[in-house]
Amino acid sequence: MKTRFHNPWIRYRTVATVLWSSLVMLASNLNAENAAAPGNPAMGGPTAAQNATSQAQLDKQNATATPLPILEGYTADPHAVVFGDTYYIYPTSDKSEWLTTDFSCWSSKDLIHWKNEGRVLDVTKDLTWAKIRAWAPGIARRNGKYFFYFCAEQKIGVAVADRPTGKFVDALGQPLISPNREFPCQTIDPCPYIDDDGQAYLYYGQGNLYVYKLKPDMITLDGPPAKMTPPRFNEGIFVIKRQGLYYFMWSENDARDERYQVAYGTSTSPLGPIQIPADNVILRQKGQVKGTGHHSVIQVPGTDRWYIVYHRHAIPNGNGYTRETCLGRMEFGRDGQIKPVNPLDAVFPADAKGEPISQSTL
């Protein structure tokens, strides 16, 4: 029996050759992948222009996935109400640096289709005491009249009309509330509220929250204001009442901040004190939706269904001066606490009829 001769050097050289061939193939594959990478069209990869187009398409897809605003154009600080069988929104008309001069009214029968009812007040023409910075209105109805509260040059005025679509006429010829060192705040963001017993209140303020009682004529203050400032309050007060409990809602942080958000507290009295629940922020930025705040709330008459109307930084390229009005569904837990609102959720399915107001509730 012959013994085969083994040369260890030949065996090592063979192994090395196989390893080297494997490394060469791996390097070749990596080079091919790099050649086809974005920006390198030499081996079939997309060009920079193609990449830009793809990104634009992706941005468009993302924007489509985000609920669209409900009002056309740039609007903010929406005050939503129900009069009769119609929903109304009175927003701020956004302009550069908040140098706004007029207010509009929008109406809807179903919360889906909105009609621009036109300009209802122009401070450059309809006031003698202010000409600019027309912000954050609120409205209430009493005895067949509509009382429109608004800001102009950091003062609060009141105008009156026979219809919710105006046109509104300055009721006093001067501000209803002017800055006062005794009650320090920026004198803006009025929110009228008429309680079940008929007593009317006017909440307002940025930096501090105050409330006046109003006399039955709705244009006369009844005594000094009460201070109600809750923790982290900035501005945009709104008040609702549900099952005997008052909900005080406001915006935290600056309106130009992407973290602008809505929080709330409750009370058994329209004058406070306000109790703060755990996790009291109910609307905040998410995804590409930023600057969610300065809201109002509407209840569908005859139901326990509620909607929140708010502004966000416009999508795309918005900021604290370029905003758009949006709608969200607002729900309550069994304990009465407000559930968080997801600004990325669609409010109605594509084929929905919205929320027409039943004639039986009127």
* Catalytic positions: 77, 235
Beta carbons within 10 angstroms of residue 104's beta carbon = 21
Q: What values do phi and psi take at 54, rounded to 5?
A: -60, -40
Contact 54, 46 (CB under 8 A): yes
- Over the Cα atoms of the chain, what is R_g? 30
Please give the torsion angle defined by the CA atoms of residues 322, 80, 327 and 361, in that order, rounded to the nearest 10 degrees: -170
Contact 200, 220 (CB under 8 A): no
Beta carbons within 10 angstroms of residue 165's beta carbon = 19
Rounded to whole angstroms, how far apart are CA atoms 234 and 257? 12
Residue labelled with tokens 């909900």 = 247
Rounded to whole angstroms, how far apart are CA atoms 202 and 134? 18
Q: Is 293 helix (H, G, I), strand (E, B) or coil?
A: strand
Please give the torsion angle defined by the CA atoms of residues 316, 321, 324 and 330, in that order, rounded to the nearest 10 degrees: 110
Rounded to whole angstroms, how far apart are CA atoms 252 and 261? 5
Q: Tally the C-alpha atoms within 13 A of residue 124's C-alpha that lie toward its C-beta.
A: 8
Residue labelled with tokens 């260890």 = 8
